[in-house]
Amino acid sequence: MHPRKGSGKVQLRHPINSIRQPTLDLEHDDRARIVEELAGLKTYTTGPSDSELAVVLIADVFGYEAPNLRKLADKVAAAGFLVVVPDFLYGDPVDLSKPNFDREAWRKLHSPDKGYEDAKPVIAALKAKGVRAIGAAGFCWGGKVLVKLASSNDIQAAVILHPGKITEDEIDAVKIPIAFLGAEIDHASPPEELKKFGEILSAKSEFESYVKIFPGVSHGWSVRYNLEDESAVKSAEEAHRDMLDWFLKHVK
């Protein structure tokens, strides 16, 4: 069933729970070598360079080098989109392996507001390349950036997956088709909160929206899954299909 305009539809899907910080093996990964500068940011770029349709992926706190995120970028690019994954964290992702990692200091350096300001020239640079329609997906921290971007008409569609803390005022300001893919087990954005977002969005008849909750999954499941866990992969791939379907429908 396709979401209707202003439906704020809530859906439920398959259970899994397998989340971990991404393991980087960039030296042996060809995807690590396709990096260029876009709007002053190092950016993983994949897909047809002459495409008039683009998708921006905004990483979570673990950064743009996460292998699963780059594989997802390749998957979206295979549908004909130019896909860019900018390094909005300036080479400074969260590193939980550091015993004295200071989360508060990191948050002050990398606020979603700053990410939003950095995203605007990325959008402008894509348009300068001849791109006429842009979609964006934000994961966790990236979702907090994207909800701000969705309050403008600079992009045509948004998908927010297991977002960090978002306010109802930010949801009320959204102006474009938007989908939320959330986890049942998520203290950052509990299902009840996402369902409330769906209710707010359902009052907006001028664009489509929906909320889908994945039972049994935890925060980060769509990009921080274990490749050796079949159910984790299956659940992540379902989210990826939902995301791609949204872009195919609204970014054209």
What are the tens digits of pLDDT across the range 4-24?
Answer: 455 444 443 333 333 344 444
Backbone angles phi, psi at 33, to 5 degrees: -90, -10
| Percentage of the residues of the chain whose pLDDT score is greater than 70 | 87
Residue 170 lies in a domain: yes
Residue 2 lies in a domain: no
Residue 153 lies in a domain: yes
* Number of domains present in the structure of the chain: 1
- State the Cα–Cα distance between residues 25 and 96, nearest whole angstrom: 16
Sorting pLDDT into bands at 50, 70 and 90, what band is 55?
very high
Q: What was the pLDDT predicted at 82? A: 96
Question: Is the separation of the CB atoms in 57 and 38 below 8 Å?
Answer: no
| Nearest Cα residue to 142 out of 70, 57, 225 | 57
Q: What is the pLDDT averaged over residues 37-57? A: 97
Residue 117 lies in a domain: yes
Residue 111 lies in a domain: yes
Q: What was the pLDDT predicted at 96? A: 87
Q: What is the CATH number of the domain that holds 138?
A: 3.40.50.1820
**pLDDT, tens digit, for every residue of 105-122?**
999 999 999 999 999 999
**pLDDT, tens digit, for every residue of 153-195?**
999 999 999 999 999 999 999 999 999 999 999 999 999 999 9
Q: What was the pLDDT predicted at 34? A: 86
Q: What is the pLDDT averaged over residues 60-66? A: 96
With 60 as the cut, is the pLDDT of residue 139 above it?
yes
Residue 1 lies in a domain: no
Range of the domain at 60: 9-250
- State the Cα–Cα distance between residues 164 and 190, nearest whole angstrom: 10
7-23 as b/e: b if 16+ CB within 10 A:
bbbbeebeebbbbeebe
Residue 3 lies in a domain: no
Q: What is the pLDDT averaged over residues 65-75? A: 95
Q: What was the pLDDT predicted at 31? A: 43
Residue 43 lies in a domain: yes
Sorting pLDDT into bands at 50, 70 and 90, what band is 197?
very high
Name the more confident of 230 and 22: 230
Q: What was the pLDDT predicted at 118? A: 98
- State the Cα–Cα distance between residues 77 and 63, nearest whole angstrom: 19
With 60 as the cut, is the pLDDT of residue 85 above it?
yes
Q: What was the pLDDT predicted at 232? A: 85
Mean pLDDT of the chain: 89
Q: What was the pLDDT predicted at 1? A: 38
